Amino acid sequence: RVVDLSHVIRDGLVTYPGLPAPVVTPHLTREDSKAKYAPGTQFAMDIVTMIGNTGTYIDSPFHRYEGGTDLAGLELSTLVDLPAEVFHVQDSVTRGIPASVFQDRDVRGKAVLVHTGWDEHFATPEYARNAPFLAPDAVTYLVEQGAVLVGIDSLNIDDTEPESGGARPAHTDLLAAGIHVVEHLTNLGALPPSGARFT
């Protein structure tokens, strides 16, 4: 069974408040294409303009660090068919997901996916308010334990509320360790705690 964990990108979609929404405009409509091709042959071609932080995406070290590896430089073996450990924490009473959540399973070499349930608010104003994130001790633990990738179905893997002061310890430490960050996942509730493969 294949489960799509990414949000659908559409014209005007707001992924992260304050960042520009994607713009999808026609370059060639099917109607206009009739004059360019043989009878009965039609095509549609669109122009998509969007910031990289749209929908569900992966952060490479370059996102945080000048001189870091960009998306084109990532090893495909670290992105494809990874064994996944899914942590279902949608009933958590704290916004910061602590290290204790991860300590009962082996995460070395795994894609660690954090199911908070926050994706139900995606593309609404609520999505940007008091969103769950990884607590600093969880970040330290996942780095020490050798996770390959960490993903979350929330606004950000870091706390983005004003009182955070703009600090981004999860991005800072995970990307420095070469651990990929995936944000704005969805449908994690459809995955078992262990046994799935993540691409």
Q: What is the mean pLDDT of residues 16-22?
A: 94
Q: How far apart are the two ends of the chain, measured CA to CA in Å?
A: 13
Q: How confident is the model at residue 26 (pLDDT cuts 50, 70, 90)?
A: very high
**What residues contact 85, with CB distance under 8 A and at least 6 apart?**
105, 106, 107, 110, 111, 112, 113, 193, 194
Q: What is the pLDDT of residue 183?
A: 98
Q: What is the mean pLDDT of residues 163-185?
A: 96
Q: Which residue has the higher pLDDT, 93 or 195?
A: 195
Can you give the pTM of this predicted structure?
Answer: 0.94
